[in-house]
Structure formats: structure tokens, C-alpha cells
Amino acid sequence: MGYVIWLVLLGIVVSIAYSLLRRWYVSLALSVACAIATLLFFLTVMSDLVPSGLGSGDYVSMIYSPIYLAEGTHLETLFFSIFVHANLMHIAFNVIGFVMFGMMLEEKVGGPRALAVFLIGAVGGELVFSLFYWDQPIYLVGASGGIMAMVGAFARLYPYEKVSVLGLFIFMRNAPAWAMALAFVSIDIVLALITTNVEISGFVGQVAFLAHVGGLLTGFAIAPLLSKVKVQERVEEIDVEAVKRVIPDEKESAGVVRSISGEREREVVDAWLARIERLARCPTCKGTMTLHGTRLKCKKGHIVRISK
């Protein structure tokens, strides 16, 4: 791999690692990683078109084609192509997808598990796409398959959760999550049947609606695994005063207490514990805190237990 690829990888890893360490939304970090990868991709493509440019050819390692899988070459593109986008409109729509659907899943299951769904689902979408275009020199880029995996996982875990979607082809208000997923997969199948080839950054490729379908189905399939991963102890009875001590914002602390009190569904409890961890500040040193079971601990060793 050329040095541009290493820069792309560094941008992706640093963005995600920073969000995990700071307890920020991984979904937003993925948006940043996509922006970095796309910018470097276009800079590399433009430089290769100019004789005096970089001439690295690294763009070959950033776009995926089923022919690579058939030949067993450039397999790193299964990963890098997830973060590269065809144009500004493409990345803008996927950033909206991260905000609408990525954060929605992340609030429920936490950042690390939402990240796992995204990556596995994105690759799953590429593999499904490859089944239909095996050994064909067409190209695939973008995070849409991973975002659709988040939609599929959410619909599987919380089928009756009310959601609202405003998009190019879908307008839904307070609809159950299962209906949202069904609408997406139905529209993508129809569009896959009627769309034709388009040019993407100098390459002729198919709009990958089948990758969307594959991603959503992958997310739907792996969703039950999320509920089998033990992350924190269950909170049987929340200590309201403890939560107020570690979350300085009164409105935020009141909302958390109201939402988690009396909750017995494991995935929901875990998601709210992850939110408490992101918001928590040590009452003594004001530093960030890490959740260990139902205890919050800062870097200086101060501990606050949030359950009675």
C-alpha cells in the first residue's frame, strides 16, 4: 500500500479511537473518517492525472470491485471503499444517515457495538453486491451499506419503536421501526432493478442499491448477537442523587433518571449507562469517568456508585 492509504487508515483509526476515548458518538466520528478518506481519494486521483503529481495510484486501493474478490487481489478495498464517497452529495446523504440512524442505534446499544454493526454490515453489503456482479469491472464506494445495517439491527432489536424518516423516497412519521426497514429494503430492491450504470469519479459503476439491501439484511441477521454481549451489570435501582452528582447539567440528569428508573430491558439499561458514562464528570476533580459495572471511576481513582 502507498503512503496515501496509510494516511487514510490513520485518519479512520484516530477519528474512531478519539470518539471512543472521549465517549462521543462513534457515528459522528465515522462521518469525519469518511470526509478524510474521500478528500485524500480525490487528491490522489487528481494527482495521478497530472504528470508532475504524486502519481501514487493509491486510488486503486480505495475503491472496491467484485472483480477484485474474484481474482483475490486488492482485498483491502473491502474496508477502504466503505469510507470513500463519489461526490459531495453522496457523502452529505450518508452523514445525514449517520445522524438519523447511526446515533439512533448507538443510543440503544452503545458506540462499540454500533461500530461493529456498521463495519460488518458494510462488508456484508459489498459481498451481497458481489454475488450479483461477480467478476465484473464495476466499482463500489460509500458507507450506505453500513448505515443500512444499523437500520436493520435497530428494526430487529426494537421493531415497535416509533421513528420518523424524511428522505428522497421515504416520508414516515411515528412509524414502527420494522416498517421503516421494510420500506427501505423494498425501495432499494426496486431501484436496483430499474437503475442503469453511472459514472463515479472517472469510473463507470452501478449505483449499489443491492449493497444497501445486503447491508440491511446483514444488520438484521447479526442484531441478536448484540443482546448476548455482557457490557455492564444491570441497574436494579438507580441512585438519583448519585446521578445528579456526576452529571452537572440538571436537565440532562433529570432526563437520564426519568428514562432509566424502573427499566428492566437489558439493552435499554446498557444504552443509558453508556450515556451516563459519556456525560459524567467526577464531583471531586471534574475529570471524565469510566463505567465499571455500576460504578463510575475517574483517572485519579475517585469512585461514585450509581445504583443503590
Q: Where are the domains of the chain?
A: 3-226, 240-305
Comparing 3-12, 61-70, 224-233, the range with the smallest average pLDDT is 224-233
pLDDT, tens digit, 9 for 90 and up, residues 21-79: 877 889 999 999 999 999 988 888 766 544 444 444 566 778 898 888 888 888 899 99
| Strand 171-176 versus strand 289-292 pairing type | unpaired
The rounded distance, in Å, linking the Cα atoms of 308 and 306 is: 7
Per-position DSSP letters for 273-306, written without gaps between them: HHHHHHH-B-TTT--BEEEETTEEEETT--EEE-
Predicted model pTM = 0.72
Q: Specify the amino acid at residue 306.
A: I
CATH number given to 3-226: 1.20.1540.10
Place of cell 430491558: 265
pLDDT of residue 207: 62
Q: How many residues does the chain have?
A: 308
Rounded to an integer, the average pLDDT of 125-134 is 90
Rounded to 5 degrees, what are φ and ψ at 231?
-110, -50
Per-residue pLDDT band at 168 (split at 50, 70, 90): low
Compute the mean pLDDT over every residue in the chain, rounded to the nearest whole number. 82
Rounded to 5 degrees, what are φ and ψ at 215?
-65, -45
299 burial level (CB within 10 Å; 0-12, 13-18, 19+) = exposed
CA-nearest of 188, 269, 199, 282 to 242 is 282
The rounded distance, in Å, linking the Cα atoms of 100 and 164 is: 9
Place of cell 437520564: 256
Quickly count: other Cβ atoms within 10 Å of residue 74's Cβ.
19
The rounded distance, in Å, linking the Cα atoms of 109 and 123 is: 20
Residue 229 confidence (pLDDT) above 80: no
The rounded distance, in Å, linking the Cα atoms of 254 and 275 is: 13
Is-contact 100 27, C-beta < 8 A?
no
Per-residue pLDDT band at 199 (split at 50, 70, 90): very low
Q: Specify the amino acid at residue 140.
A: L
Per-residue pLDDT band at 263 (split at 50, 70, 90): low
